[in-house]
Amino acid sequence: MKFTLKLCWLLRLIQNQNYKPFYLLLITIFFSCDFVSKKPNATSSHNCIPSNSKLNDLDNLNEITYAENGSLEGMIFVEGGEFEMGGDNDDAMQDEFPKHKVVINSFWMDETEVTNDQFMKFVESTGYVTTAEKAIDWNEIKKILPPNTPKPHDSLLSPASLIFYQTNAEDMNDYTQWWRLEKNANWKQPFGKDSDIKGKGNHPVIHISWEDAIAYCKWSGKRLPTEAEFEYASRGGLKNNIYSWGDEPIYEGNVKANTWEGKFPSSNNMKDNYYYTSPVKSFKPNGYGFYDLGGNVWEWCSDWYHSNYYEMIGSTVTSNPRGPETSYDPNEPYSPKKVMRGGSFLCNDSYCSGFRNSMRMKSTPDSSSLHAGFRTVVDVKS
């Protein structure tokens, strides 16, 4: 795996005036902080999850397209069928259109996100080291920088991951205001040095990259859900419902999910009782019995992300789509990305409403953050 620049590592560079020109150069090259405010048929793609890596060894990603040998414990059988995939209301972004018919085969899916306890068993069994626990390779970074670019201090290349910080933000296009790189932050130490996951074994594992999720899947005999499978499961048997629980807005009625309540990113009234992750099964499941398909943590899917993928499909009925062959995000056109679904504890209706069934998010396969996790699926044996 090739390591490259991490988003918030750049943020730290600005703290060192000796490297400020270097920082500004990299910001120009890599950052595209364009977040499109919610509106019907937004004209360009949104991006509320920063990517903290910009190069990937695409030849070594080793997709898992079929898995039938994994344990079915803690999984739910989903009867296949046809559904309409894509945007349901005026909050939908352009990449959620056009709405189109999809046929899905039956499959098994984890009723919850993969938890810290489950991921711990994987690590103890294999000795696996996650992306966030590995140092950044300067020899890889400098290949995409101008000649004679000075090497940053080694401390800025240390293992790290993205952490959220509450702040009073005026420019909502600039997500660097609330995301920072935290040295030694990873799944075992979610907030860096002196933090741990004691007592959080039933919380979703976080700071997980797509590559980490794939490694877990190979060990467990499972695979990641396709984007279509995730949305089909999230709809829970309902037709064209906006959320996994139905159509009632997140802020009305009973608490439905772990999301950001208040003004993002400056104040969270914590009506749901959680500021960060919540234990799995803390809220009611959807119609199929799945928990947290809306909120808690973003979840990796197997598909590459392409902002025009639904337009590429057109009006044809597709059977078990696995996404485009190539990735394209207009905000960061040189960074291949994988799809993420479901929203997180940071999602808010005033910003990204990531907990909508049709909401599409994306990040580079080797990116990790405080609200990135996953769940797995198993194919039905033929």
Q: Identify the CA nearest to 22 among candidates 32, 36, 11, 35.
A: 11
Each residue's pLDDT tens digit, 68-120: 889 999 999 999 999 999 999 999 999 999 999 999 999 999 999 999 999 99
- Tokens 């629980």 locate to 245
Beta bridge partners of 373: 299
Dihedral over Cα of 199, 203, 207, 208: its sign: positive
User: Which residue would you say has higher pLDDT here, 10 or 254?
Assistant: 254
Each residue's pLDDT tens digit, 23-64: 333 333 333 333 333 334 443 445 666 666 534 454 455 678
Each residue's pLDDT tens digit, 212-243: 999 999 999 999 999 999 999 999 999 999 99
Pairing of strands 160-164, 81-85: unpaired
Q: How far apart are CA 326 and CA 51, in angstroms?
A: 18
pLDDT for 140: 73
Q: Is the separation of the CB atoms in 256 and 284 below 8 Å?
A: yes
Residue 150 confidence class, pLDDT cut points 50, 70, 90: confident
The dihedrals phi and psi of 12, each to the nearest 5 degrees, come to -70, -30
pLDDT for 149: 82
Q: What is the DSSP letter of 144?
A: G
Q: Thinking of the domain 48-131+198-379, which architecture would CATH place it in? A: Alpha-Beta Complex (3.90)
pLDDT for 68: 84
pLDDT for 141: 67
Which residues lie below 8 Å from residue 330, measured CB to CB, with a gap of 6+?
44, 45, 307
Tell me what the pLDDT averaged over the chain comes to: 85
